Amino acid sequence: MEVMPITTLVTRVLAELERLQYSALSQTRYRRFYQRILAYAGERHIVDYSEDIGRQFFQACYACDWLDLPHPVPAKLHVPLRGLAMLGDMQMHRMILRRHTYPSGESPPLEIHAALTAFAADCERRGYSSRSWRTRRGRLRLFGEYLEAHRQELNAVTASDLSCSQ
């Protein structure tokens, strides 16, 4: 792994965020976070970034070690943790690795689509709120994709069975 000056690393990460079309709000959040890291490094005369520097910064600013985080992780720590992970990714791989995957936009296979439609009708019949229905439906879509990937039959599972399992 090549050691890079922290200013170069931050500049590359911010340029990559722009190239990957992160929202303006996300870019601003990371830019502000990286300004804090640069100020921390400047105060301590640190030139090159390392994971240890990131840990020290996190400990000093947030009064906890990133290896002993509370579960669930508080929302205020999401940007700092992701920001430090992106610095490490850029230094090690010269790119930002996506942490979250997003749906491809393709329609589900016909079997799964039919089951999801039946599940939607069952949720409405049971009086579930549309918000909880979307959450359940998302989990079920992933479950259906898992079944398909492992070549397991979905025919034996009904919408009522899935509703009762929640």
Q: What digits encode the pLDDT tens for the residues 133-165?
A: 667 667 676 666 666 665 656 666 666 655 554
Q: What is the pLDDT of residue 145?
A: 66
Q: What is the pLDDT of residue 63?
A: 86
The two three-digit tokens of residue 28, written as one number: 């601003």
Q: What is the pLDDT of residue 97?
A: 80
Residues 28-75 have pLDDT tens digits of: 999 999 999 999 999 999 999 998 999 999 999 998 887 788 878 888
DSSP character at residue 103: -
Give this prediction's pTM.
0.60
H or E element, residue 163: helix 159-164
Q: What is the pLDDT of residue 146?
A: 60
Mean pLDDT for the chain?
Answer: 80
Residues 98-131 have pLDDT tens digits of: 666 555 566 666 666 777 777 777 767 777 766 6
Count of other CB atoms within 10 angstroms of residue 109? 14
Contacts of 109 (CB under 8 A, 6+ apart): 144, 148
Burial of 141 from C-beta contacts in 10 A (0-12 / 13-18 / 19+): middle
Q: What is the pLDDT of residue 166?
A: 45
